[in-house]
Homo-oligomer: A and B are copies of this chain.
Amino acid sequence: MNDATPDAPATTAAAAAAAASRPIRWYWEHRAVGSVREFGATAVTREATIAFASQFDPQPFHLDDDAARASLFGALSASGWHTCAMAMRMMCDDYLLESSSLGSPGIDNLRWLKPVFPGDVLRVRLTVLQARPMNSRPAVGLVQSQWEVLNQHDAVVLTMTGWGMFGRRTPAAPGDAPPSVP
């Protein structure tokens, strides 16, 4: 569970040390096309919703109850970028920090399908869509995944398709095939 409040400096240093020290369990070769993982539980708090919006997306409907009631969302809701960030944190905690993740070139088809409200509990469902070697870097493979963020009612509130770069357990050789479901 990630309470999504800013860390104090000591906690930040500890988080850095912990992240840096986790061994790699998941390489590019483990991302089988068609595989589905579901993970995480992030409780969305009013405090975190307002803190994120105040810092990055101070539109009235993300900060003020009256403005939110008059908006298309009907009640105070989280910034869509906050939902992305919460999803990323779940990805890190339950997957990427034990992987050979090297970063991402980008995201396609990001859709904020439903508002996220304080009190919601979010989780992530991740489906591998494609995997292929990275032509320019033999030690790196690319994986395209479908992210779905669901709330406690099993409603999908966000979808997006992300590309990730992952270190390969063994560098590419001519004729290598991408991983697939056995």
**A residues engaging B (CB < 8 A)?**
4-7, 11-12, 15-16, 19-20, 50-52, 54-61, 63-64, 66-67, 71-73, 79-81, 84-86, 88-89, 92, 96-97, 101-112, 165
Partner among B55, B63, B104 whose Cβ is within 8 Å of the Cβ of A4: B55
How many identical subunits does the complex contain? 2
Which residues from B are CB-within-8-Å of A105?
111-112
Q: Is the CB of B11 within 8 A of A67?
A: no
Which residues from B are CB-within-8-Å of A67?
20
Q: Is the CB of B54 within 8 A of A7?
A: yes
Give the docked Cα–Cα distance between A56 and B92 (Å).
8
Known: A50-B12, A59-B96, A81-B84. A111 touches B102 (CB 8 A): no
- A sample of 20 more A-B contacts (CB under 8 A), given A16-B54, A57-B85, is A6-B6, A6-B51, A7-B51, A7-B55, A12-B51, A15-B58, A16-B58, A16-B63, A19-B59, A55-B85, A56-B88, A58-B92, A59-B103, A71-B102, A72-B165, A81-B84, A104-B112, A106-B109, A106-B111, A108-B109
